[in-house]
Structure 1
Amino acid sequence: MISITAAAAALQRESPVAGMTLHRLLYYAQATALIQRGVPLFPEDFQAWRRGPVSRDLRNGRPDHTPVPLEDRDLLRATWATYGHLSAAQLGDLSRDDAPWTDTRGHLPPAAPCDRVIAQEAILTYFLGRELVQDPGGRWIHAAPTDAQWARAKARLVIARQARLGALGGEDRRAFIGRQVVATQRLEGLTVLCPTV
């Protein structure tokens, strides 16, 4: 597992980002790793500061130019491809609208300081199946998934965890995903749909 400062250095080699924008992009990279892999990209946490999610380790850390594995660089590039077109203000609004940040802050006034850690489980639960879209007013949001989108995302997460544990046992990945989608839909009491993976 890489450090957040190594992830920051890798992202900065690809794109000119700094400050709060860097924190927000790494927050979304962490969310992407959690929903795609079932494990964090880096061990460091984010706190629910008043301006959005902030990593104290990144803020106070020294640059880490440790080589970053290709799959982690690809995840950082994918995060940049998804969020890199947003302005700093749009990223700020987006991160402060997301439930992991707002729920962690609770009922604190907007200007109140906060160093509460945003739980990785809260990040995973919130972002699972969500997509970045523009609402009718032009504001960027993470749209809630349909039941089918959520079931597919949950199944992919189970697959990633099973594959990491070596538990697929040679079974065709697509067949396993299909079975997991149907099983997840049944467990959640959803209408069972034929999966398209």
Structure 2
Amino acid sequence: MEAVDVAKWFLSKESMSPKKIQKLVYYAYSWYLTLMNETVEGINNRLFDEKIKAWVHGPVIYSIYNEYREYGYHNVPKQDTDENLYTEDMLDVFQQVWDVYGDYSANELESITHQEEPWREARGELKPLDNGYDSIKDETIFSYYLEQMEDE
């Protein structure tokens, strides 16, 4: 699975900005990682292999950035996708992410990710507008979202 394939599933729901796409794909990755692995030491099941970077406006997957960068702050048009690309588990996670986060704006999603440990840890001591290129660690994602799920 490629990150852009995940983005296309969300774009099959509605037209949205590249920033919103980034955040929805980040949450899909995070939830899939958390739900499809048993322990933080045994993370083998990832939605895609690409690293997620902690950029100024939140988590970013470079291939998605590159795919939709021409749209800037404008919405990417709604797209069709082939549901057969995805496993039942993937579709279940995507739908859950959509149900929870789909109604938020890109700026609201950015704000939410900025309050969460995975992005904050990867940013470290960077100032708010400093460029950062560190990856968000899968172990931090797993631990953080597992704790969130256990608290509900």
Q: TM bucket by the smaller chain?
A: 0.7 to 0.9
Which residue type is aligned with residue 19 of structure 2? M
| Aligned position for 1:73 | 91
Q: Cα distance, 1:79 vs. partner?
A: 0.6
| Aligned position for 1:9 | 8
Q: Cα distance, 1:70 vs. partner?
A: 4.1
Say which is worse superposed, 13-22 or 88-97, in terms of deviation: 13-22
Q: Partners in 2 of 1:36 and 1:17 — Cα distance? A: 26
| Aligned position for 1:27 | 26
- Runs of 4 or more, structure 1, over 6 Å off, are none
The answer for unaligned runs of 5 or more in structure 1 is: 132-144, 150-197
Q: Cα distance, 1:87 vs. partner?
A: 2.0
Superposition RMSD in Å = 2.0
Contact 1:4 1:44 (C-alpha < 8 Å) held by counterparts: yes
Q: Cα distance, 1:61 vs. partner?
A: 3.7
Are 2:66 and 1:60 equivalent residues in the alignment?
yes
Contact 2:23 2:106 (C-alpha < 8 Å) held by counterparts: no
Deviation track 1:35-62 (CA, whole Å, cap 9, x = no partner) reads 1112221111210001100111211248
Which residue type is aligned with residue 51 of structure 1? H
| Aligned position for 1:40 | 46
User: For this pair of structures, how many residues does the alignment match?
Assistant: 132
Q: Partners in 1 of 2:96 and 2:85 — Cα distance? A: 15
Which residue type is aligned with residue 11 of structure 1? F
| Aligned position for 2:123 | 105
Compare the two structures and name the one with the higher strand fraction: 1
Are 2:49 and 1:49 equivalent residues in the alignment?
no
